[in-house]
Chain A
Amino acid sequence: MSAILEVIKDKAGPVIDSLIALTLGFLGGALTIYFSGYDVVKAMSQLYNFSIGNPFVNPYSLTITLTYAGPLMLSGLAFALGVRAGLFNIGIEGQIYMGAFGVVIASSFAGIPAPLEVLAIILVGIGFALMWSAIPAALKVYREVNEVVVTIMLNYIALGVADYTIFKYFPNPSDATKSIVVPAYARIPLLMPNTSLSWNIVISIGVLLVIYYVLWYTVPGYELRVAGTNPNAARYAGINPKRAMFLSFMLGGLLAGIAGIEKVAGLPPSYSVLSTLSNLQGLGFEGITVSLIGGNHPLGIIFAAILIGALHAGARGLNLIGIPKEIVWVFQGIIVISIAIPNLYTLIKRKFVSPGKEVVGK
C-alpha cells in the first residue's frame, strides 16, 4: 500500500489531470443528458445503481463492472507499454482477435485430457497474439516502418482472417451466430456463482502487478522506460532502443493474448466468439482510453479500467429508462479529450518533431 501511496505522491500531476478529466467528463455527460431532455438525477442514479449499487446488499451490479474491467485492464496496459517504449502501438485490437481465434482453434481439440486442453488454450491463444504482434515489431525494428500504419492495417486483416476462418471451419453446430464453445472443463472458473464475474479480474490485476514490477524493478523494464523516454540517453547508456521496442511489442502481444483468452474462455454465457467478432470489437481501442486515463501506469490503469467498466455496466441502466445508452460515449469522449490533449501533445511532439537545433549567437 505504501508503494501505491508513494507512486501517487510521485505522480500527483498526472493523477490530478485524470481527476480533472473525470470531473469534466461527468459534467459534460450530465449536461448532454439534460439538453437531450432527460432527467439528469434519474439518469445518474441509474448509472450508479447499475454499476456499483450497494455492493454489501447486492453485489450484482459491481460484478458486471468488474467483468468489463478485467480484459480492459490488459488491453490498456498493452497500449501503455507501447507508450512507455516510445511507440504508438494500436495493434492490440487485432492481436486480441488473433488470441481469441487461437482459443477457438484450441477448443476444437476438445476430448484431450483437461490439463492439456487448458494448456492448449493458453499456448495457442497467446501464441497467435504474439505472432500478430511480431509483424509490426519486426518491421519497426529491422526496417523502421511506422508502427501506426502497420498495426492499423493488421487490425483489419486480423478481423477478416479470424472471422472468415472461425465461421468457415469452427462454426457452432447449434447456433449459427457463434463459434464452437470452449469445453466446460477448460473455462476460467467463476469467482461468484450466478454472476458473470470469473477469475478474469484476478488474473488481470495479477498480470498488471507483475508488469508493474517488471517496469520498475528489473533491468529490461528500466531499459524500456529509458529508451521510450529518451532514445539518445538510452544509446549513450549502452541501451539498444530497438531491443526495448521489441520487448514492448512482445509484452503487448502477450497481454492481448491473455485478454483474448479472458474474453472467450472466461466470459459467460457465450464462451465463444460471436459472428463478426462482435463480442471482441472495440476492446483493443478502448484500451487506449483506459491507458490515457490511467496515466500509462499499471496501477492507474487498474482504476481506469474499473471506471470504464462501470460506465459500460451503468449504460444498461440508462437503456431501461429509455435513455440511449450511447450517451456514456459522451462521458468517455469528454474524459479522453480533456486528458488526451496535453498527453497526446507530448507524444506527437516526441514522435514527429525531431529535436530542433536553435543556433544562438554563433
Chain B
Amino acid sequence: MVEPLVKVADVVKVYPDGTVALRGVSLDIFPNEILGLLGENGAGKTTLMKIVSGLLQPTEGKLYVYGKPVKFSMPAQALKMGIGMVHQNIPLVHNFTGLENILLGYKGIKRDEALERLRDLMSKTGLKVRLDVPVEDLSLGERQRIEILKMLFRGVKILIMDEPTTNLTPVETKDLFRLLKQLAYEGKAVVFISHKIKEVMEITDRVVVLRKGKVVGRLKTKETTPKELASLMVGREVVFSYPPKKEVPNQKDLLVVKDLWVTDDLGRQAVRGISFTLKSGEILGVAGVEGNGQKELVEALTGLRVIDKGKVILMGEEVTGADPGTLSFRGLVHIPEDRKNVGLVLTMSVLENVFLGLHRYPEFLKPGKLINWNKVTEHARKLIKRFEIVVRSLKSPAKSLSGGNQQKLIVARELSKKPSVIIAANPTRGLDVASTQFVRNLLINLRNQGIGILLISSDLDEVLDLSDRVAVMYEGKFTSLKPVKDYTLQEIGLLMGGVNA
C-alpha cells in the first residue's frame, strides 16, 4: 500500500458569511495518480483544494502531508511542502515577463542559472512558453503554462489544477492532458478539478464526486461510466413545495431569439448561435454549469451587452440591440444575478433604489424632469407592504437590508413596471430558505398570470422545479431544449457535463 502524499480528514469549512462550503470531507491524494474532483457549482471542489494549498483554513478537521499533521496559514507554506495550485484565474503580474513572474518571491538564484534550469525543465516536460514577453501579451493558455512551469520550478510534488481547460483551445487541452499524464507517470500527484465529465473520464485514474460539500462517490475511473458520474453529480433532494402550475390558455410567442451570437469581455465567443421562443405563461429554464455563456446570454437579452449577430423579437417587434430602458418600456424586465452591484445602489436610500429605472416613468415625474418624490414614496410604501419587505425606513441605505429583502425590493420594483417578460438570473442565489421559497412561489404565480419567464440558474433543483421547458447550455450553445418531464436526471447531468446523451 502506497502512503498518501496528502490526507484530508473530516474537513468542514464555514465561510464568515455563514455559507457552509464543506461538510466533513475526507480525501487521500496519492503519487503517480491523477485524481479527478468532480462536482457542480458550489459543490466545494475549489474550497477543498484552496484548503489543501494553504489559501484557506479549515473550520474543522485535519490535514496531513507526508503523514504529518500540518496547519497552513498561507500558500507559501504549502508550496514549501510541495503543494501547488494553478487557479482558474491565474494570478500573474501582468506587466512582468514570464521569467519575472516565475522568480517573483523566489530568493537565492541568479537569473542566468534560473533561465538555464527553466530551459532544461521545458525541454524535459515539453512545456513551451516565451519567458521574455510581458504576461499581458500572452494567451490565457500560455499564462497557464507559465504558472505550471512556476510550480514545477519550485519543485511541487502535488499539482492542483482548478478547471484548467476553461480557457484552452482543444489543441492546448490535448497538450495539457499529455503533460499531466507525464507528470503523474514521473511520480507526482495531480488533482484535476472539473465539472466536465468527459474530461474527467479521459484523464483521471480515480474520481471523487462532491455534492453540496459532501463526498458522494469515490470511484476508479476505469470502473465507472459517464452516466454513473452524472447521476452522482446532480443527485437531488426535494425540500420545497410550490403552488400548482395552471394551464395558461392562448399561449403567445413573447420573446423570439434567432441565432444569437455574443462575445464576452475577453473577446471570446461566449454565446454561439442560440435560438428559442419564450411563450406567455411559461417558465423556460436554462440549466448549465456556470461559465458556459449564461451571463453573456442574459446581458445580451437585457440590453447590457452588444449582440454580434442574430435577432431578438419582443412581442412581434424587433428589439435587437435596444438599451435596458427601452426594453423595460416594452415589457421586458431583468432580475439581475448580481443584486449588490447591478440591481441596487447600495449606498443610496431604499426610496432612491425603488426609483431606479422607474425614473423614466411619467407617473413619478412632474413637468420639467422634476421628480415627484411623494409619488415615489407612496409607491415604495405599497411595494414594501405587498411584498413584506423589512426596512427600517425609506431613508436608510439599501445596504442595511438583508439579502432576501434586497432581492424582494428588486423583484417588487421590476414587477411594478408591469412586464410581459421577466429575465431572472440566479434569482435565489445566496438567499435564505424562506426568501428562496418566496421568490420561487412568486415566479410560478407570475407564470400562472401569463407572464413569460426566462430563468437562468446554476441551481439545477431550481430549474427543474420551476420550469415548463428546460434548455441545457454548454459552451455557448443550447445542447438540448425540451419539456422538463422529457428529461431524466442522468441525461441532464450528462448534458451539463458536455456529454451528448
Q: Which residues of A contact B (CB under 8 A)?
A: 6, 10, 217-220, 222-223, 225-226, 229-230, 232-233, 235-239, 355, 357, 359-362
Contact = CB atoms under 8 A, between A and B. Distances in A.
Contact of B352 (A218, A222, A232, A361): A222
Contacts of B342: 232-233, 236
Query: In the complex, which of the residues A220, A223, A362 has the most CB atoms of chain B within 10 Å of its own CB atom?
Result: A362
Contacts of A219: 359, 365, 369-371
30 contacts: A10-B395, A217-B371, A218-B368, A219-B369, A219-B370, A222-B352, A226-B345, A229-B345, A229-B347, A230-B344, A232-B342, A233-B342, A233-B343, A236-B324, A236-B334, A237-B356, A237-B357, A238-B303, A238-B323, A238-B328, A238-B360, A239-B325, A359-B88, A359-B89, A360-B19, A360-B46, A361-B43, A361-B44, A362-B45, A362-B290
A238 B322 CA distance: 10
A229 B348 contact: yes
Contacts of B352: 222, 226
Contacts of B345: 226, 229-230, 233
Nearest to A233: B345
Contacts of A362: 41-42, 45-46, 88, 162-163, 290
A12 to B, nearest CB: 11
Contacts of A218: 368-371
Interface residues of B, number: 48
B306 to A, nearest CB: 12
B304 interface: yes
Considering the complex of A and B, which 6 residue pairs feature the smallest CB-CB distances, nearest first? A238-B325, A237-B357, A219-B369, A361-B47, A238-B324, A230-B345
Nearest to A222: B359
Contacts of B373: 217
B370 A230 contact: no
Contacts of A225: 348
Interface string B64-99: 000000000000000000000000110000000000
Nearest to A220: B369
A360 B51 CA distance: 12
A330 B457 CA distance: 57
B215 interface: no
Contacts of B30: none
A236 B344 CA distance: 9
Nearest to B210: A361
Given A222-B355, A232-B342, A236-B324, A361 B304 contact: no
Q: Which of A10, A355, A359 has the most CB of B within 10 A?
A: A359
B379 to A, nearest CB: 15
A222 B345 CA distance: 12
B260 to A, nearest CB: 20
A230 B46 contact: no
Nearest to B357: A237
A237 B21 contact: no
Most chain B CB within 10 A, of A225, A235, A236, A360, is at A236
A226 B88 CA distance: 33
A225 B348 CA distance: 9
A229 B356 CA distance: 13
B359 A237 contact: yes
Given A220-B369, A222-B371, A360 B356 contact: no
A223 B21 contact: no
Interface centre among A6, A230, A237, A359 (most CB of B within 10 A): A237
Interface of B: 15, 19, 21, 41-47, 88-89, 162-163, 290, 302-304, 323-326, 328, 334, 336, 338, 341-349, 352, 355-357, 359-360, 365, 368-371, 373, 395
B351 to A, nearest CB: 11
Nearest to A228: B345
A209 to B, nearest CB: 15
A237 B356 CA distance: 6
A158 B163 CA distance: 55
Nearest to A6: B395
Nearest to A358: B89
A307 to B, nearest CB: 26
Given A217-B371, A361-B42, 11 more contacts: A10-B395, A217-B373, A219-B365, A223-B359, A226-B352, A232-B342, A233-B341, A236-B357, A237-B357, A238-B326, A362-B41
Nearest to B47: A361
B45 A361 contact: yes
Nearest to A219: B369
Nearest to A356: B89
A303 to B, nearest CB: 22
A350 to B, nearest CB: 11
A236 B89 contact: no
A220 B369 CA distance: 8
Contact of B343 (A222, A229, A236, A361): A236
Nearest to A229: B345
A218 to B, nearest CB: 5
Contacts of B368: 218
Given A217-B373, A219-B369, A232-B342, A226 B42 contact: no
Contact of B21 (A229, A239, A360): A360
A226 B343 CA distance: 12
Contacts of A357: 89
Contacts of B46: 359-362
Nearest to B369: A219
A17 to B, nearest CB: 15
A362 B88 CA distance: 10
Nearest to A226: B345
A232 B356 CA distance: 12
A290 B336 CA distance: 38
A223 B365 CA distance: 14
B360 A230 contact: no
Nearest to A346: B347
A361 B21 contact: yes
A361 B359 CA distance: 38
Contacts of B344: 230, 233
A232 B21 contact: no
B453 to A, nearest CB: 18
Given A359-B46, A360-B15, A362-B46, A236 B371 contact: no
Nearest to B373: A217
A254 B72 CA distance: 58
A362 B43 CA distance: 7
Contacts of B371: 217-219, 222
B146 to A, nearest CB: 20
A34 B348 CA distance: 44
Nearest to B46: A362
A222 B352 CA distance: 9
Contacts of A235: 304, 324
B91 to A, nearest CB: 11
A237 B162 CA distance: 36
A220 B42 CA distance: 41
